[in-house]
Amino acid sequence: MSQPHPILSPAALARSLSLRDLTDPSKGPHAVQRALDGAIQALGRAWRCEVLVHRASPVVPAEDDGARLHDAGSERPGGRTARRASATHVLRTRTAAMMPGALRRLAAATPIDVLVACPGLVYRPAADRLHAAEGHEVDLWRLRRGRSLGLRDVAETIGLVAGAVVPGLTLSAVPAELPWASDARQVDVRVRGEWVRIGAVGLLSPALLAECGLPADASGLGLTLDLDRVVAIAKGVDDVRLLRSEDPRIAAQMIDLGPCVPAPADARAAPRCETLDEVRASIDDLDDRIVDLLAERRRYVLQAARFKRSAAEVRVPAREEQVVAHVTAAARRAGIEAELVERLYREMMAGFVDVERRHCPGGP
């Protein structure tokens, strides 16, 4: 088992705590708040229950981020490790870490039916286009006394939230594991041919509810919603880190959930990375996408081989020069060195010529 991260320096902790929480309207409007409001309002209207919004410091007892959620403390699923603020406290890795405290305060006078919403920042050790190092989630937990909540309520929750925040998209709900819940489902939506996880929901553990002081006739379900991904999907952007873009032309579009119009290519900046590891992770993610595109290009190359009578017809210098002219013009528009793009493309085309020849009638 890996060791917990060392305790953050005072400067690093101060930087983390000074970061703007995009879910908080007191810090100014943002599209993240629109997604949050949409989810809360959809559930509140459908259930006609009391709604309590609970916010708390992102520095939480390590037990609230792990053991009190029936998880293994600071060591997170998938190898994620919490950033330690002290020997006993961490920067929360999930908004569910706010729930033990919220439920303990609610236990003294548990309403008959209540939706508890805990939105805010969560802190991760690395980032890529689907995970911001400092991202935004909300946990939406419904607590009810009397008739127990069940799987039908879980299914209803998925439909209500998906309809509010990602309307019109194909939805998938597959079995998942949540430490604090049973009969859990991972909620995915299909975006441009890719399945993207936006959350998970399940029936809350009766033991957890009892540990928080809730009465024996209380039951609950809990939904964790990734607000960054929901907003990125709504706005049609591929990288959640653009939600914090410092480019004023992009930042101005992050007020609502309308589609984002990209800035001109020559002015488009990569999302700001805070560490070398973040830079490398972002490059790895881009390389994966580039290889996928190369595989797609290869499939078209193989189709071209069907229309040629022999390997001698594969290489067409005039067509190669046409491709080079096209991509170098695109490079100049994108602000990248055209000479570099030309060298890469000439090397790539030579390789694909060899591939195409091997698949032409008569072979190489």
Domains and CATH numbers, the chain: 10-251 (3.30.930.10), 276-358 (1.20.59.10)
Averaged pLDDT, 171-187: 94
pLDDT of residue 79: 33
Burial letters for 19-35: b for 16+ Cβ neighbours within 10 Å, e otherwise? eebbbbeeeeebbbbbb
| Confidence (pLDDT) at 59 | 96
Cβ count near 259 (within 10 Å): 10
Strands 113-123 and 50-53, sheet pairing? parallel
List, as own/partner pairs, every contact residues 158-161 make where C-beta atoms lie below 8 angstroms and the sequence separation is at least 24, other chains included.
158/185, 158/187, 158/201, 160/42, 160/43, 160/46, 161/39, 161/42, 161/43, 161/187, 161/199, 161/223, 161/225
Residue 6 pLDDT more than 90? no
Taking the C-alpha atoms of residue 211 and residue 202, their distance in angstroms, rounded to an integer, is 18
8 Å CB contact between 60 and 97: yes
The string of pLDDT tens digits covering residues 344-364 is 999 999 999 988 888 876 655
Q: pLDDT tens-digit profile of 198-218?
A: 999 999 999 999 999 999 999
pLDDT of residue 185: 96
Record the tokens describing residue 72, joined without a space: 């293994």
What pLDDT sits at residue 205?
Answer: 96
Which residues, 6 or more positions from 163, have their beta carbon under 8 angstroms from its beta carbon?
Answer: 42
| 3-class SS string, the chain | CCCCCCECCHHHHHHHHHCCCCCCHHHCCCHHHHHHHHHHHHHHHHHCCEEEECCCCCEEEHHHHCHHHCCCCCECHHHCECEECCCCEEECCCHHHHHHHHHHHHHHHCCCEEEEEEEEEEECCCCECCECCEEEEEEEEEEEECCCCCHHHHHHHHHHHHHHHCCCCCEEEEECCECCEEEEEEEEEEECCEEEEEEEEEEECHHHHHHCCCCCCEEEEEEEEEHHHHHHHHHCCCCHHHHHCCCHHHHCCCCCCCCCCCCCHHHCCCCCCCCHHHHHHHHHHHHHHHHHHHHHHHHHHHHHHCCCCCHHHCCCHHHHHHHHHHHHHHHHHHCCCHHHHHHHHHHHHHHHHHHHHHCCCCCC
pLDDT of residue 85: 93
pLDDT of residue 170: 94
Q: What's the whole-number average pLDDT of the chain? A: 88
Confidence band for 131, pLDDT divided at 50, 70 and 90: confident
| pLDDT at 122 exceeding the cut of 70 | yes
Using a 10 angstrom Cβ sphere, with 0-12 exposed, 13-18 middle and 19 or more buried, the burial of residue 6 is exposed
**Residue 113 near residue 52, CB atoms below 8 Å:** no
| Contact in structure between 119 and 58 (CB atoms under 8 Å) | no
